[in-house]
């Protein structure tokens, strides 16, 4: 008789990143509505100065209120998902301590740029989210987030006619930018695309549970700049001083 796989010591941690307004919070809400009856879930959201995303999900009733935790990063969003992941790790671990064992914890980054990647010290796999309203050319611009996340989602495809975007072209560009890595065009109004997303999450959850997926580093963020309140611009990079290796993302076998 085949042995039943042991319950993992901790939940599968899935990061969700992408620029502001691409629909990260709504995607997480969709996953909670679709999967909460079959998968034990929790959510950790990131905002710079508020807990607004957590409040949106709590108000929507997608999970029990206490299964949705908020981290106020107080700095650039990528700082809390890559450079110093301690506040997020504490939030995830507290969530699991209070409600575990959990199968899946979704960690939502604050809205960031095309270079945003999670540290493998925080998540086991990551989804990067674009949307058609951001422009049909965004996918082919590339960057670590687009190229190396475990899954790229092109969201809000139902809006394409209103913003004059060729969805098929955008998806093709995205596939090229990812060397054929998985890409899903998503609309919450399109059942087939919702099923494709939830199926990917189910399969990745099973792969992590069964030890068939190893988290690795998508690579450092590209050089980028930030302007302060006085308009002064600082350009900086995130190098390997944090102990990360420049590797492509792991894939489920």
- Looking at residue 202, its pLDDT comes to 98
Cis peptide before 101 (omega within 30 of 0): yes
- Looking at residue 101, its pLDDT comes to 95
> Other C-beta atoms within 10 Å of 66: how many?
11
- Looking at residue 237, its pLDDT comes to 52
- Looking at residue 131, its pLDDT comes to 97
Binding site annotation covers 201?
no
- Looking at residue 215, its pLDDT comes to 85
pLDDT tens for 134-153 read 999 999 999 999 999 999 99
Binding site annotation covers 22?
yes
Binding site annotation covers 25?
yes
Binding site annotation covers 20?
yes
The greatest distance separating any two alpha carbons of the chain, rounded to the nearest whole angstrom, comes to: 68
Binding site annotation covers 167?
no
Whether 250 and 213 have beta carbons less than 8 Å apart is answered as yes
Quick one: how far is CA 106 from the chain centroid? 8
Binding site annotation covers 21?
yes
Whether 207 and 151 have beta carbons less than 8 Å apart is answered as no
Q: What is the CATH number of domain 12-220+230-240?
A: 3.40.50.300
Nearest 5°: phi and psi at 251? Answer: -120, 145
The dihedral built from the CA positions of residue 220, 223, 229 and 232, taken in this order, carries a sign that is: positive
- Looking at residue 36, its pLDDT comes to 97
Kindly give the residue spans of alpha helices, DSSP state H, lying in 104-216: 144-148, 160-163, 167-177, 191-209
Please state, in angstroms and rounded to a whole number, the distance separating the CA atoms of residues 159 and 169: 15
Please report where in the chains the tokens 């691409």 appear, as a residue: 22
Domain borders along the chain are: 12-220+230-240
Whether 12 and 208 have beta carbons less than 8 Å apart is answered as yes
Binding site annotation covers 143?
no
The rounded average pLDDT for each run of 10 residues, N- to C-terminus, in the chain (253 residues) is 59 96 97 97 95 96 97 88 94 96 97 90 97 95 93 98 97 95 97 98 96 81 55 51 31 32
Look up the pTM and report it. 0.84
Q: Which three-class secondary structure state does DSSP give residue 48?
A: coil
Binding site annotation covers 23?
yes
């Amino acid at each position: 008789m085949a042995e039943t796989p042991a319950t993992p010591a901790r939940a599968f941690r899935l990061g969700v990143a992408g620029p502001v307004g691409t629909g990260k919070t709504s995607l997480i809400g969709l996953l909670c509505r679709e999967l909460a009856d079959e998968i034990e879930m929790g959510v950790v959201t990131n905002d710079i100065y508020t807990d607004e995303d957590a409040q949106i999900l709590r108000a929507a009733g997608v999970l029990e209120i206490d299964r949705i935790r908020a981290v106020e990063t107080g700095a650039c969003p990528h700082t809390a998902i890559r450079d110093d992941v301690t506040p997020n790790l504490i939030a995830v671990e507290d969530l699991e301590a209070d409600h575990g064992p959990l199968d899946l914890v979704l960690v939502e980054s604050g809205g960031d740029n095309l270079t945003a990647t999670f540290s493998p010290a925080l998540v086991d796999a990551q989804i990067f989210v674009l949307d058609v309203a951001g422009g049909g050319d965004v996918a082919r611009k590339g960057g670590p987030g687009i190229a190396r996340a475990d899954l790229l989602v092109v969201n809000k495809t139902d809006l394409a006619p209103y913003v004059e975007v060729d969805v098929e072209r955008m998806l093709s560009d995205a596939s090229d930018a990812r060397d054929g890595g998985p890409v899903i065009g998503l609309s919450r109004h399109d059942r087939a695309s919702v099923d494709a997303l939830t199926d990917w999450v189910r399969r990745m959850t099973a792969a992590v549970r069964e030890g068939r997926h190893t988290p690795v580093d998508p690579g450092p963020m590209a050089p980028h700049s930030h302007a302060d309140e006085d308009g002064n611009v600082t350009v900086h990079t995130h190098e390997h001083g944090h102990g990360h290796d420049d590797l492509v993302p792991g894939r489920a076998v």
